């Protein structure tokens, strides 16, 4: 069903719910998981892959920590760090590398916040042709 699941992470506590959900789903579907975090601080947006900052160091550590959780659960998992605008980078990753499902948590903003801020999840789901699993964080 889902050979490869792309799990996007933003490095906040809201990730925990989607991580738990994808672990169960990946086990049931015998899927591999790709963890993707997009570093979007000043250094990441300015220098891309050449960026060096405490943010990049922490993001890399976080991805490896979560990858370890999946591997302990027996789920084949890789981790990738992208740089720049989160929605643009997620869409680019899906177009370039492909997957069968994109799993994301949402922060549950309401109409006005979404209207002014936009949402990564909304931009992604309307720009790709792969199913998107959205789990609202509490």
Q: Where are the alpha helices (DSSP H) in 1-138?
A: 15-29, 42-47, 54-72, 86-97, 111-117, 120-125
Q: What is the pLDDT of residues 25-60, one digit of tens each?
A: 999 999 999 999 999 888 888 888 888 888 899 999
Q: What are the beta bridge partners of residue 83? A: 39
Residue 55 tokens, joined: 């943010």
Q: What is the pLDDT of residues 100-135, one digit of tens each?
A: 999 998 865 554 444 444 488 888 988 899 999 998
Q: Per CATH, which fold does 4-136 belong to?
A: Rossmann fold (3.40.50)
In the chain, where the domains are located: 4-136
| pTM (two decimals) | 0.88
């Amino acid at each position: 069903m889902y050979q490869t699941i792309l799990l996007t992470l933003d490095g906040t506590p809201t990730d925990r719910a989607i991580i738990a959900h994808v672990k169960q789903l990946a086990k049931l579907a015998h899927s591999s998981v790709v963890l993707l975090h997009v570093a979007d601080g000043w250094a990441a947006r300015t220098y891309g892959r050449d960026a060096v900052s405490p943010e990049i160091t922490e993001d890399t550590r976080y991805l490896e920590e979560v990858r370890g959780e999946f591997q302990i659960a027996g789920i084949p998992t890789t981790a990738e760090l992208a740089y720049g605008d989160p929605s643009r980078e997620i869409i680019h990753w899906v177009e370039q590398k492909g997957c069968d499902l994109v799993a994301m948590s949402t922060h549950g903003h309401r109409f006005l916040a979404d209207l002014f801020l936009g949402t990564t999840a909304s931009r992604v789901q309307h720009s790709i042709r792969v199913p998107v699993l959205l789990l609202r964080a509490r």
